[in-house]
Structure 1
Amino acid sequence: MLKKVVFLFLLLSICSLSACAERNKNAQEHEIETSTSVALSNNDQIDTVQATEALQQIKEQIHFNVPIKMPTTLPIAEGTFLSATARTQGDQVEVIFYESKENMPINDIRLKKSATVIGRLLVKKYKSVEGASTQIAFDNFNQNGGQEVDLGYNIKGYQDAGAGSLWTGWNEGRWAIATHTRTDNPDAGVKLAKQAVAYLENHMLPIPRQYGMAQLDVYQSGNLIVWQDEKLVYTLDSIKDPLKALAIATAFYQ
């Protein structure tokens, strides 16, 4: 009887020790996970702060006779830093945005060789509002006609083909937006148009005065976004990813 009691006592002790060890292990794993989560959050915060400071520094480098708008944020790859070159010449400002593996100052000569271009912003001032408006190739696709296509969210697109190209265009407010593909790959143009429409359901393009236009290219070779703000015309180009081009443009909304 005594042997059984001793055996049960030893068994309970072993189980208790195992349970304690398991609890300690779980606690340590939770602590590691929590620490990692905090570290990632801190890294994200540092990147955001750096990008915000870089955009402010870019703005300070621009000496122009009228105030111009800048994006509130830019999509950069994780672990990279935002920088730019900024140049004012007469009635035009050119800003080329870069992402780099090291934190470089604005207008650093190393950017062209060791950093990746995110996109280019041109802002040009015209002598009159009428002169600026002639720079916007605005289309009312509903009136132009073409084959109708459902883009979702109660938006209709209109397709027009010619010279091996297929365009799917639609209007959102005072914006004319069109995707480009080749006639031998028609589904890609509709797919990109649907992605753009879905994105713009939750993101706002800048309010144009008077009009804006966007050309989004399936083959990432001709993305172009242009809008008017009174006498100023904003142009975004040199952006490979069409959806990233939209993301940059919507960052101008204020």
Structure 2
Amino acid sequence: MKKKLIYSFILLAGISLAACGGKSKTVESSTSNKSTENSSQSTSSTSSTTKSSSIKSSTENSASSESKSSESQSAVKAETNAPAKQADAVLSQLSTAFPNDRLPQAILTSKTADYLTAATTSTADQENFRILYYAENHAIEVNDIVVNDLQPIASFEKKSYDSNETAASVVNQIIDNGGSKIDLGYGITGYQQGAAGSSYLSWQEGNWSLVVRASNIGGEVAEPLAKEAVAYLETAMLPAPQNIGQISLTASTSDSYQNNSIVWQKGLIVYTIQHFDALQALKMTVSTNQ
């Protein structure tokens, strides 16, 4: 009987130990699973944070790139518009200074620097004044003292006289129908002759007399420039002289603004435009009609 009780006791003890062992393993397993789950959540959270950071970084980079691109485009636009704004400001200031006359608007060429400026005589005398035009690589104020050391590219001058006859004599119109006839196109005939190492090609358009001078020594030819001038004036309108006007162009290339002259009378007043470029001298004169 004692032996049976002992065996029963041992059996119950074994079962109890086995049950405890299983429970421990279950707890450990549960703890492990929770640890794994927490680790997974941590990894997922880290991944999410990294992804969010990446998206934020990408957005910031994109915004930065767009900002830089916008700034670059604005800088280019400002740089492109700066010469035009400077020219408008100069021309507006000159028109305000001399409001009684139509001043030239077309001065710069593709060969000149981009920034226009000017120097004028006193505005106190509205009947007699002169404007010198300059083209530089940066903006300069009108009548800035620095232009004294610069080379003008063009000029506009107004002078008043006591009589029409005196004004007409200052224009010094030249009409020469001698020499060889040359067809300049558009029904216009020019007359060419030589003198003192140069050739002169002359023609008339309305009250205007025109002449192109070419140097024989330099092998220059007057005809191409004359034809170019005729073709341009078919589509552009010069101011109407009262009573006469003289256009003197030079086939040679020069930096001197006095190379080409356009002079016309308006009663007692004589206007003179000069420009280093022959065709631009015409365009500058035409622009006084604008």
Fold in common (TM above 0.5): yes
Are residues 174 and 251 of structure 1, via their aligned partners in 2, closer, same or farther at CA, if it must alter by over 3 Å?
A: same
1:219 aligns with 2:252: yes
Offset of 1:41 from its aligned partner? 7.8
Q: Which protein is richer in strand relative to its size? A: 1
Partner secondary structure for residue 145 of structure 2:
coil
Are residues 79 and 214 of structure 1, via their aligned partners in 2, closer, same or farther at CA, if it must alter by over 3 Å?
A: closer
- In the other structure, the counterpart of 2:160 is 125
| One-letter amino acid of the counterpart of residue 264, structure 2 | W
For 1:200 and 1:97, the matched residues in 2 are separated by: 24
Offset of 1:152 from its aligned partner? 1.2
Are residues 79 and 182 of structure 1, via their aligned partners in 2, closer, same or farther at CA, if it must alter by over 3 Å?
A: closer
Write out per-residue CA displacement over residues 43-66 of structure 1, whole angstroms, 9 at most, x where no aligned residue: 665543432221121233349xxx
Partner secondary structure for residue 54 of structure 1:
helix
Q: Which protein is richer in helix relative to its size? A: 2
Write out per-residue CA displacement over residues 211-249 of structure 1, whole angstroms, 9 at most, x where no aligned residue: 111111112453111111111111122x22211211212
- In the other structure, the counterpart of 1:232 is 269
1:53 aligns with 2:89: yes
- In the other structure, the counterpart of 2:56 is none
Write out per-residue CA displacement over residues 13-69 of structure 1, whole angstroms, 9 at most, x where no aligned residue: xxxxxxxxxxxxxxxxxxx9xx98x99887665543432221121233349xxx222
- In the other structure, the counterpart of 1:68 is 101
Partner secondary structure for residue 117 of structure 1:
coil
Q: Which of 79, 102, 118 is equivalent to 1:84?
A: 118
Partner secondary structure for residue 135 of structure 1:
helix
- In the other structure, the counterpart of 1:10 is none
Partner secondary structure for residue 281 of structure 2:
helix
- In the other structure, the counterpart of 2:63 is none
Q: Which of 183, 186, 189 is equivalent to 1:156?
A: 189
Q: Is the 8 A contact 2:158 2:270 kept in 1?
A: yes
For 2:186 and 2:93, the matched residues in 1 are separated by: 39
Offset of 1:79 from its aligned partner? 6.4
- In the other structure, the counterpart of 1:138 is 173
Q: Is the 8 A contact 2:108 2:114 kept in 1?
A: no
TM-score (structure 2 length as normaliser)? 0.65
Across the aligned residues of Structure 1 and Structure 2, the Cα RMSD in angstroms comes to 2.8
| One-letter amino acid of the counterpart of residue 138, structure 1 | Q
For 1:223 and 1:170, the matched residues in 2 are separated by: 16
Q: Which of 94, 100, 116 is equivalent to 2:136?
A: 100
Q: Is the 8 A contact 1:166 1:186 kept in 2?
A: no
TM alignment of 1:169-208, pairs within 5 A: 169-184=202-217, 188-208=221-241
For 1:56 and 1:79, the matched residues in 2 are separated by: 20
For 1:96 and 1:149, the matched residues in 2 are separated by: 36
- Which segments of 5 or more consecutive residues in structure 1 lack a partner in the other structure? 1-31
Are residues 111 and 76 of structure 1, via their aligned partners in 2, closer, same or farther at CA, if it must alter by over 3 Å?
A: farther
Q: Is the 8 A contact 2:199 2:216 kept in 1?
A: yes
- In the other structure, the counterpart of 2:285 is 249
Partner secondary structure for residue 252 of structure 1:
helix
Q: Is the 8 A contact 2:197 2:216 kept in 1?
A: yes
Offset of 1:193 from its aligned partner? 0.6
- Which segments of 5 or more consecutive residues in structure 2 lack a partner in the other structure? 1-68
Write out per-residue CA displacement over residues 115-169 of structure 1, whole angstroms, 9 at most, x where no aligned residue: 552211221011122221111222344xx33210011111110012112121000
**Identity score, percent:** 31
- In the other structure, the counterpart of 1:165 is 198
| One-letter amino acid of the counterpart of residue 245, structure 2 | G
Are residues 83 and 166 of structure 1, via their aligned partners in 2, closer, same or farther at CA, if it must alter by over 3 Å?
A: same
TM-score (structure 1 length as normaliser)? 0.73
For 1:48 and 1:126, the matched residues in 2 are separated by: 36
Offset of 1:81 from its aligned partner? 1.5
For 2:185 and 2:81, the matched residues in 1 are separated by: 35
Partner secondary structure for residue 60 of structure 1:
helix
For 1:51 and 1:228, the matched residues in 2 are separated by: 28
- In the other structure, the counterpart of 1:3 is none
